[in-house]
């Protein structure tokens, strides 16, 4: 009890009545029990129950007790309860959910499985792709189209009008130009009137114009490969390979030779290009052009000039053609090389030079618009190799050349004039008669006896070929096509 409260109380033994004293003693007994509980200045309420619960309540904080928590600077109030001792519940640690981990693990496992499967699929596709590549020839890239001139290493040279320079054209086009070496046997008349054979070698140029599944196809002049026993083609990377004649057209001085792709290395196939064909019909006089070829057999060289004239009629070795005239230097060895416009497109095949002490800068090229359909036909032919002498074919005729002079005097077509026909021979059986002029043999144009003999070297006895002759009927020559089965060469001719 507080001192103030005690001062107001009456001491026992004073003028108290018996009733007051009893009352005081009961109050004192209660106060002692209260002090033992350790609290004061609060109301006490009794609940009529054996399991009595006691609550200390501050009426002024009733509303605040409902909020449970306050700011850190304020007191926290909770209700204290006294009741029968109860075992404090054990708080079990909450296990963190492993659902996310399980999902992550599942995703990782699926990713690994997917990766393995994808790797196997890609490996299989790659293997199939390689197998497919093995069955297909490597495709050789073409020169850059005209709309995209090649950038040269020298940036100081620019041509605002055409968008490319001579250096650009050379860098782009030299990979499609090759050098051709021709080794053959030449017969030369000796001092005593007889003939003697000598091995001869000549050089020229060619242009890569296409490829098929097994061959690289090179266009050149007919006179570059005529009479060749062996033909060797050299490429921009200085590698070389043997070539076979695929087809020739002597009337237009064109030929196609084939190089087996299996004879070329991967480095060579990557270094070379197929020429892009232009349109020579669009040329104009004064247009700048570039000539590339194997001049004098020294290797590739580049010259430049202008279109001097168009459709110039030129006759060489009984062959007359309308050609592009240019002042770009075309020297021996340039035959079969490329004449290009400033977009790097092939517009002509160099063929002829006017050689004279009084003349300079007059070279000629076959227009590509004239050459293209002929080359397409030659490229589609079967590539042949020379047959063994024991299998050599025989026609059974004697013949002579129709010279240019004879053509003019008698108005004869170019070809081989048949002087006589062996009885029972291949020619007679096919219907050839004396006086016919052979102009084509199995699609190959024939203009001389030597060309006919060289062509026969690639055919074996027993083969059937188409042969075209010009026959005089009613004062004019008419074209006749015949089927001919080749004979074997007689034993007495060996």
Sign of the Cα torsion 298, 299, 304, 307 reads positive
Catalytic residue among 168, 249, 253, 487: 253
| Residue 148: both structure tokens together | 């995209």
What is the total residue count of the chain?
Answer: 494
For residue 39, the tally of other CB atoms under 10 A from its CB is 9
162 is catalytic: no
Sign of the Cα pseudo-torsion (227, 231, 233, 239, in order): negative
Residue 253: active-site member: yes
Rounded alpha-carbon distances, angstroms, from residue 257 to 47, 176, 368, 375, 447:
124, 14, 17, 11, 19
Cα 185 to Cα 178: distance, rounded to the nearest angstrom: 23
d(C-alpha 470, C-alpha 478), whole Å = 5
Catalytic residue among 168, 223, 249, 436: 223
> What is d(CA 173, CA 142) in angstroms, rounded to the nearest whole number?
9
Q: In whole angstroms, what is the distance from residue 491 CA to residue 494 CA?
A: 6
223 is catalytic: yes
Residue 278 neighbours by CB under 8 Å, 6+ apart: 146, 340, 341, 343, 345, 346, 347, 368
Catalytic residue selected from 202, 335, 448, 487:
335
Neighbours of 257 (CB within 10 A): 29
Alpha carbons within 13 A on the beta-carbon side of 42: 15
Which sequence positions are flagged as catalytic?
223, 253, 335
């Amino acid at each position: 009890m507080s001192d103030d409260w005690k001062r107001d109380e009456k001491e026992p033994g004073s003028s108290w009545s018996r009733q007051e004293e009893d009352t005081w003693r009961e109050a004192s007994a209660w106060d002692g029990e209260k002090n033992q509980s350790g609290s004061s200045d609060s109301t006490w309420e009794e609940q009529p129950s054996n399991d009595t619960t006691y609550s200390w309540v501050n009426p002024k904080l009733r509303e605040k007790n409902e909020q449970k928590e306050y700011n850190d600077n304020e007191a926290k109030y909770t209700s204290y309860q006294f009741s029968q001792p109860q075992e404090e519940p054990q708080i079990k640690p909450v296990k963190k959910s492993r659902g996310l981990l399980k999902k992550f693990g599942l995703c990782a496992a699926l990713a690994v499985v997917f990766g393995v499967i994808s790797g196997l699929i890609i490996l299989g596709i790659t293997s199939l792709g390689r197998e497919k590549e093995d069955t297909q020839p490597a495709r050789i890239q073409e020169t850059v189209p005209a709309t995209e001139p090649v950038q040269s290493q020298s940036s100081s040279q620019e041509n605002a009008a055409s968008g490319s320079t001579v250096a650009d054209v050379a860098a782009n086009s030299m990979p499609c130009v090759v050098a051709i070496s021709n080794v053959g046997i030449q017969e030369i008349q000796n001092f005593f009137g007889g003939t003697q054979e000598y091995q001869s070698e000549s050089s020229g140029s060619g242009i890569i114009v296409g490829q098929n599944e097994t061959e690289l196809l090179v266009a050149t002049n007919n006179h570059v490969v005529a009479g060749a026993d062996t033909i060797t083609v050299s490429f921009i990377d200085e590698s070389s390979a043997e070539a076979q004649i695929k087809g020739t057209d002597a009337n237009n001085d064109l030929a196609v030779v084939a190089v087996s792709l299996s004879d070329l290395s991967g480095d060579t196939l990557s270094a070379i290009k197929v020429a892009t064909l232009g349109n020579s019909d669009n040329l104009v006089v004064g247009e700048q052009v570039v000539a590339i070829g194997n001049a004098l057999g020294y290797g590739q060289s580049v010259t430049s000039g202008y279109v001097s004239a168009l459709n110039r009629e030129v006759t060489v070795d009984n062959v007359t053609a309308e050609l592009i005239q240019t002042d770009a230097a075309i020297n021996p060895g340039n035959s079969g090389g490329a004449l290009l416009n400033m977009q790097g497109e092939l517009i002509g095949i160099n063929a002829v030079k006017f050689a004279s002490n009084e003349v300079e800068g007059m070279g000629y090229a076959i227009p590509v618009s004239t050459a293209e359909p002929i080359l397409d036909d030659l490229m589609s032919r079967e590539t042949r190799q020379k047959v063994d002498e024991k299998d050599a074919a025989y026609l059974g005729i004697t013949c002579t050349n129709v010279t240019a002079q004879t053509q003019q005097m008698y108005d004869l077509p170019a070809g081989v004039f048949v002087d006589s026909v062996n009885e029972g021979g291949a020619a007679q059986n096919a219907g050839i008669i004396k006086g016919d002029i052979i102009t084509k043999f199995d699609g190959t144009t024939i203009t001389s006896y030597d060309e006919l003999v060289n062509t026969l070297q690639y055919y074996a006895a027993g083969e059937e070929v188409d042969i075209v002759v010009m026959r005089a009927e009613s004062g004019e020559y008419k074209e006749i096509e015949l089927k001919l089965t080749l004979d074997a060469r007689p034993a007495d001719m060996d």
